[in-house]
Amino acid sequence: MTSGGLTCCRWLCCVFVVFVNVISILLGLLLAVLGAILLWGYAVIQSVASSYIASLSAGFKTTFGTEINFQAYIEGMANITGSAAGILIGFGVLLIIVSCIGCFGVCLGHKICLIIYMVCVALLLIGQLIVVIIWFADSNIMKKSVRTTMDRQVEVYTGERNSNFETITLNLLQTLVGCCGVNNGSDFNFSKDWNRTFTITDKNDNTSSVTFNLTYPVTCCKFNTTSFTLQDQYCPYNGTTATSNYEVGCYNKVFQLVETYASLNDFFYALAGLLGLELLLIVGALLVYCAKRQADDGRNPDSQYKMNQIA
């Protein structure tokens, strides 16, 4: 390629790489902000959702006879999700740093920065490629982690009136999503610490009640989502498919909801498309590097002389 053509190609590559990296910097800022909100946003969530949390607590107290402190639950979630927030912040900051290195390298023709940038993008490309290959080879490998988490929640389930994190999470999932257990309500046969004793008092006659052992949690029954009360008071005792979600597993229901709003396959197709963009970034940075090196060799007669001697 002639010197003029290489120079033209260099500037086109500069524009392309800078444009993409400016977008990457904005994305990195967004991820960092989301991570910060996830880490320190308890007060914001509490103020915005205070009325919703109050009605949710009142509804559960009416149904189960015990009030659950959902505000403390949300505060506890902030501690548990700290690792996810750290990942978002760390990845966002790393994305900003790498993007700035790329912009600095192509604009000023700094060869060390260009090499660092190409290595970082290449590592990202390889990691993405592995994830995409794993997903399309067998997507169940990644879904198994979700199933494992749900299995653990069912195993340590302690009932509707208890407030440990796993139990409340599962109760909320079953109530709001409309499901029961991982596969169905029979999964709770493996819940070792669950106190199954439950009493139903007739709403019209407080002296009339029935006490029995639950076969599945009350939260597997169908709820009025506005008042968080049971559609059928006697569902825990003699529920049917019309009044309970006993036969609807949470594992499939969650992924059905995800696919309804955003196809996971489409996400991974988009991720695969990013591989081409990253390859173009590497090629663009490499062309800028070569143009800079050629320009430096042209300004250095001794280097040019040595190259001619070798030739």
**C-alpha to C-alpha distance for 279 and 310, rounded to whole angstroms:** 33
Q: What is the mean pLDDT of residues 157-184?
A: 82
- pLDDT band with cut points at 50, 70 and 90 for residue 309: very low
| 264 vs 276, more confident | 276
How many C-alpha atoms does 1 have within 13 Å on its Cβ side? 13
Residues 297, 303: contact at Cβ < 8 Å? yes
pLDDT number for residue 48: 60
Beta strands in the chain (DSSP E): 197-201, 209-213, 223-224, 229-230
As a whole-number percent, the residues of the chain with pLDDT over 90 amount to 17
Enumerate long-range contacts of 167-173, CB under 8 Å, 24 or more apart. Answer: 168/68, 168/70, 168/73, 170/217, 170/219, 170/250, 171/217, 171/219, 173/250, 173/254
Mean pLDDT of 29-49: 73
Res. 186: pLDDT tops 60: yes
Which pLDDT value is given to residue 75? 55
- Coil/strand/helix, residue 224: strand
How high is the pLDDT of residue 307? Answer: 42
Average pLDDT, rounded, for the chain: 78
Residue 197's contacts (CB-CB under 8 Å, 6 or more residues apart) are: 211, 212, 213, 214
The average pLDDT across 30-43 equals: 77
Q: What is the pLDDT of residue 23?
A: 93
What average pLDDT does range 93-113 have in this prediction? 90
The position carrying tokens 């290959």 is 133
Residue 115 pLDDT? 92
On whether the CB atoms of residues 9 and 66 are closer than 8 A, the answer is no
Q: How far is CA 144 from CA 10, 151, 304, in A?
A: 46, 10, 59
- List, for residues 125-157, the tens digit of each pLDDT value: 999 899 888 888 877 777 788 888 889 888 888
Beta-carbon contacts of residue 8 (< 8 Å; ≥ 6 apart): none
Cα–Cα distance, 81 to 126 (Å, whole number): 28
Q: Which pLDDT does position 5 carry in this prediction?
A: 58
Which residues make beta-bridge pairs with 221?
244
Is residue 279 pLDDT above 70, yes or no?
A: yes
More confident: 4 or 293: 293
- Is the pLDDT higher at 51 or at 90? 90
Whether residue 191 has pLDDT greater than 90: no
* pLDDT value for 60: 59
- pTM, two decimal places: 0.61
**Given this model, what pLDDT does residue 99 score?**
93
Q: What angle do CA 269, 287, 98 make, to 5 degrees?
A: 60
Do residues 104 and 116 make contact, with C-beta atoms less than 8 angstroms apart? no
Longest dimension (CA), the chain: 107
Q: 63 pLDDT exceeds 70?
A: no
Top-confidence residue, 267 or 105: 105
Residue range 210-269, pLDDT digits in tens: 788 888 888 888 887 666 677 887 788 777 778 889 999 999 898 888 877 777 778 888
